[in-house]
């Protein structure tokens, strides 16, 4: 017949239990191989600051708002 609020409540929590079970199934277990180590990001080797880095002059502004304009 009609679905009551209790039915919606139970379905909501049942879906959450199913999602949690799927998530746990994807995690490596004790017998599985360990996850690979995280990949290190590629870093630029130059000493010049990026546009959004703090300005090296010490003003507290971003480089693009301070000394980048003076450089041009």
Express each pLDDT in 18-48 by its tens digit: 999 888 887 777 777 777 898 988 776 777 8
Instruction: Residue 2: give the domain boundaries.
Output: 1-28
* Mean pLDDT for the chain overall: 82
Looking at the domain assignment, is residue 20 inside a domain?
Answer: yes
Tally of structural domains, the chain: 1
Give CA–CA dist 63/53, Å, rounded: 6
Query: 0.85 exceeded by the pTM?
Result: no
Looking at the domain assignment, is residue 59 inside a domain?
Answer: no
Looking at the domain assignment, is residue 41 inside a domain?
Answer: no
Q: Is 24 helix (H, G, I), strand (E, B) or coil?
A: helix
Position 17 scores a pLDDT of 92
């Amino acid at each position: 017949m009609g679905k009551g609020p209790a039915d919606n409540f139970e379905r909501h929590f049942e879906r959450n239990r199913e999602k949690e079970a799927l998530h746990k199934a994807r995690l490596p277990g004790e017998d599985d191989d360990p996850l690979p180590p995280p990949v290190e990001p590629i870093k630029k080797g130059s000493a010049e600051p990026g546009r959004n880095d703090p300005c090296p002059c010490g003003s507290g502004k971003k480089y693009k708002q301070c000394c980048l304009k003076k450089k041009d």
